Structure 1
Amino acid sequence: MPESPLDPKLAQETALPLAGIRVLDLTLARAGPTCVRHLADWGAEVIRIEPPRFNDGLGGAREGYDYQNLHRNKRSLALDLKTEEGKAAFFRLAQTADVLVENMRVKVKHRLGIGPEEVRAVNPRLVYASISGFGQTGPYSERAGVDQIAQGMGGMMTITGEPGRGPMRAGIPFVDLTAGNLLALAVMMALWERQRTGKGRWVHTSLLESMVFMLDLQAARYLMDGEVPGQAGNDHPVNIPMGAFETADKPVNIAASSPKMWAQFAEALGHPEWLEVEEWKTARGRSDNRKAVNAAIAAVMKQKPSEYWIELLERIGIPCGPINKVDEVFADPQVQHLRMAMPMRCPIRGDTHLVSSAINIEGHESHVWRNPPRLGEHSSEVLREAGYSEDDIARLKGLGVIVEE
């Protein structure tokens, strides 16, 4: 296994794109940490400010796969923001930060006195980034929100799954991840604008906004044509043939919906007569007769194994691919070539892997250059850099304002 560099200076010495950017990470659960992970992976100095008692919002162990995957390349300061001393330390750190990311419930940050107005009053250059469940204002703004609630409210569960089987959630925390990705994009836009104006911005999104945005063509389908999309199972909602088909050994996905591809596909399967079926001659006709078209294709596909069809269809330019289990994903030669399993040398779990960044930047590679931190592992180090004396740090430890493992 290639060794992870595990060198905190690597991001600075190799001038990763975000080297020199300081981020205060006040996030829990998944959406906020997803945003911060982008920044940390590409060289930002991230200080994770977390409560003195461990709570990642996910219910998993700190050494578990979820925490380890979300919180690499960070330092940890365990700080009690409910105390005056803790809040004073926070504001001292905020004075030199470039970005703050939080995903508290809307009223919590204001109750703590660390909302965007208060923080940007001491540092107008700071980009304050927020994720909420349903927006910073409006009738639902005070509600707690989690991924599956947003999937349901945002329409995702009514267009996912097989017709007649009832609503179905996506198999990943789709909305959390999307919100985190979008917030990272907003942070970068605000940092770029700051180059010109010298001032930071408050940027924010929510799980609900992110989910509605990701409806994309299904949302436009309703907004422009008045069609309310339903569940289509493994079929594409409008294009055909495009979906999953069983073969002699395992299912594959096929996308042959354009007129040219449909003709090539019928010929390749040995059924040129399909092109003469009056009801199937147009895309609309094939869509209206989806069951019959799919049944005809399925009867042929089951006669040969998946590799046969993938090779045949790929040769004539028709997209076709296997439907893999997760272990098969990471055994795939292309996934291995893309290095999507990122090596990490963990002091608790030994040599292992995390999920790599999917962003590619010429001349740079993302690494685990700092292991996910223990609770408050860097509390003294961070406060020392902020100008606290050893006596000050000892006093804060004695008061329980900071914790260090």
Structure 2
Amino acid sequence: MGALDGLKVIDLTRVLAGPYCTMILGDLGADVIKIEAPGGSDETRGWGPPFAGDQSAYYLTANRNKRAMTLNLKEAEARDILRTMVKSADVLIQNFRTGTMEKWGLGYDDLHALNPRLIYCSISGFGQSGPYKDLPGYDYVVQAMGGMMSITGSEESGPMKVGVAIADIATGLYCTIAILAALQERHRSGRGQQIDIALLDSQISLLANVASNYLVSGQIPKRYGNQHPNIVPYQTFRASDGEMVVAVGNDRQFQKLCEIIDKPELAGDPAFRSNSERLANRDRLIEMLQAEFLRKSCKEWQELCTSAGIPAGPIYNLQQLFDDPHVAARDMKIEMSHPTAGQIRLVGSPLKLSRSRVEIKRHPPLAGEHTREILREYGFADEQIDDWLARNIL
């Protein structure tokens, strides 16, 4: 039995942030009902190639462990169906443009009146308040406006985005955290509440120590590429057969590094004895270290660093990553069958619970795949469902 077994979640989201959140809830055992417009309105269904059969890899990313139905929420009858479902739901999560749900009579106040225990989570680019609340929000734009691109890349490359939609993913994670917190609070109060999660807020929070450095010093941070702004040496190096990362986090580890490269005298050099001195003399030290790292392979250096207690590892491409036996041992690559795509491979769940184990029970659903099944559970007759289908209500 999953940790969230018995939890009913209505998922009115699309693309990545919301579906990522609801996938996590589904992985943990919640009954997630993904609702789209007739024909399927999650844009990621068409975001390819690559495709597995007729299913885009992007859509498969974040939609397992859900059931799917369709509702044309532009129609009053469809909105009434949703209201019926909300009466017994625990969580509703939506990412329509700000004000859309209120226009339809499906805002928090409307649905809270039907179900005071409902936890209602809204995702938007810039939040439900503030001067930007009505602007559309996309991950790329938020990475730009949220400071991430200004610190990613090097001075030579100019601003760069992160290689994945990091603002969307962070937003999905924060939504999950907020929903679980609201559920815990509901145990005490018996009441639900509204959750307002913005991509921009989530992105800003990811600036972490870089934001703190700025807020403390007032100095606008530079782009350091694969170097660290506060720690040296903590970056990529070229070995004889490829690139790797060496992360020296303290002076003791630096002494060990000097020993394994057969340059113990560097640890006693006044220019390099402490991290602050290494920061001041970064370029000279890195040039010296780089010359030494070219003498051995990534694997040799990883073994030497590991034996000395220094974090280090090769830079994998995704083939190397998913071929790694440790990744297999951690179940981070899984396979499951899909009705139209055949056998599909997905990223596993990082959540490892000793008793309430994560189970991947449901394939990413086809648009509306479970519409009839779900509506029957709410007491609607097949004749009524057929009528709604014929009139594009579903």
TM-score, with length taken from structure 2: 0.96
- Alpha-carbon offset, residue 277 of structure 1: 2.6
Q: Which of 11, 16, 34 matches 2:20?
A: 34
* Percent identity (aligned): 35
- Alpha-carbon offset, residue 90 of structure 1: 0.5
Q: Matched residue of 2:202: which SS?
A: helix
Matched, 1:248 2:235: no
Q: Paired residue for 2:47?
A: 60
Deviations 1:298-353 (A, max 9, x none): 00000111111000110011111111001111111211110101221122232232
- Alpha-carbon offset, residue 162 of structure 1: 1.2
Q: Distance in 2 between matches of 1:90 and 1:328?
A: 46
Q: Which of 304, 309, 315 matches 2:307?
A: 315
Q: Which of 100, 104, 129 matches 2:96?
A: 104
Matches within 5 A, 1:52-201: 52-58=38-44, 59-60=46-47, 63-201=55-193
Q: Matched residue of 1:251: which SS?
A: strand
> What is the one-letter code of the residue matched to 1:77?
M
Further displaced range: 349-358 or 236-245: 349-358
Equivalent pairs counted in the alignment come to: 388
Matched, 1:300 2:287: no
Q: Paired residue for 2:365?
A: 373
Q: Paired residue for 2:51?
A: none
Q: Distance in 1 between matches of 2:357 and 2:341?
A: 24
- Alpha-carbon offset, residue 50 of structure 1: 0.6
Q: Matched residue of 1:46: which SS?
A: strand
Q: Paired residue for 1:239?
A: 231
Q: Matched residue of 2:33: which SS?
A: strand
Q: Distance in 2 between matches of 1:35 and 1:46?
A: 11
Q: Is the 8 A contact 1:343 1:368 kept in 2?
A: no
- Alpha-carbon offset, residue 211 of structure 1: 0.5
- Alpha-carbon offset, residue 64 of structure 1: 1.3
> What is the one-letter code of the residue matched to 1:45?
D
> What is the one-letter code of the residue matched to 2:55?
E
Q: Which runs of 5+ in 1 are unaligned?
A: 1-14
Q: Matched residue of 1:34: which SS?
A: helix
Q: Paired residue for 2:278?
A: 286
Deviations 1:30-75 (A, max 9, x none): 1110110110111101111110132213342661111122111111
Matched, 1:49 2:55: no
Q: Which runs of 5+ in 2 are unaligned?
A: 49-53
Q: Paired residue for 1:223?
A: 215
Q: Is the 8 A contact 1:105 1:132 kept in 2?
A: yes
Q: Distance in 1 between matches of 2:357 and 2:61?
A: 17
Q: Paired residue for 1:24?
A: 10
> What is the one-letter code of the residue matched to 2:197?
T
- Alpha-carbon offset, residue 399 of structure 1: 1.1
TM-score, with length taken from structure 1: 0.93
- Segments ≥4 residues shifted beyond 6 Å: none
